[in-house]
Amino acid sequence: MTKQEKVEFVINTLNELYPEIPIPLEHKDPYTLLIAVLMSAQSTDVRVNQITPILFAKADNPYDMIKLSVEEIRDIIRPVGLSPMKSKGIYGLSHILIDKYNGEVPKTYEALEELPAVGHKTAAVVLSQAFGIPAFPVDTHIQRLMYRWNLSNGKNVVQTEKDAKRLFPKALWNDLHLQIIWYGREYSPARGWNLDKDIITKTIGRATVLKAYHKKKS
């Protein structure tokens, strides 16, 4: 298969498996998505979705959020981990949104990445899922699968994002990054991987990855 044929195989397979694409983090607007994505760092979507309703019941907008103290926020979000850093970020960015953006979430990488505790991936998720702006957020699943599929060298997330944007049509980025995440969770996980179920990797996977898998199973 040529690289272009591999790309087309990935797109077609993912569209067959995920014609409807669920959004992993529950939210109702750009602000609640921003907070949920920030909270998801080194945590799971399941855990975040358990905690955000508790937090948003008290504050689902920046004006109400700054009425809480950093300590109150930290106590609520403690189960998701890294609560000292995340609570300061949530409180600080809420102030900035009010002071600089009239309480609205900005729509550029530059503005989002200037907010406390907001990195490139978080900004990309917000742009993609809240505003429909083409972006390709790279999480651990996408990093792993782009390497397994021999579509990126796995060097770092910056390179993987560049490769994904170069290979896949821009109009598909927002759907594809979610489809790949769901595929990674269901068919190509880091642990408990069953290659027989992982049709994409089995078909187009990197030779060294396939060899290592079979060696481990033998």
Task: Spot the catalytic one: 139, 162, 175, 202.
Answer: 139
At 145, which amino acid appears?
A: L
Determine which one of 6, 60, 86, 121 is catalytic. Answer: 121
Q: Is 163 among the catalytic positions?
A: no
For residues 178 and 210, give the distance between their C-alpha atoms in angstroms, rounded to a whole number. 24
Instruction: Report d(CA 52, CA 36) in Å as an integer.
Output: 7
Q: How far are the Cα atoms of 25, 96, 130, 180 from residue 31, in angstroms, in the given order?
A: 12, 12, 9, 25
Active site residue 67: no
Give me 76's structure tokens: 């609520």
Q: Are 38 and 122 in contact (CB under 8 A)?
A: yes
Residue-by-residue DSSP string for 140-190: HHHHHHHHHTTSS--S-HHHHHHHHHHHS-GGGHHHHHHHHHHHHHHTS-S
Closest by alpha carbon to 187, among 218, 215, 148, 137?
Answer: 148
| Residues that are catalytic | 121, 139
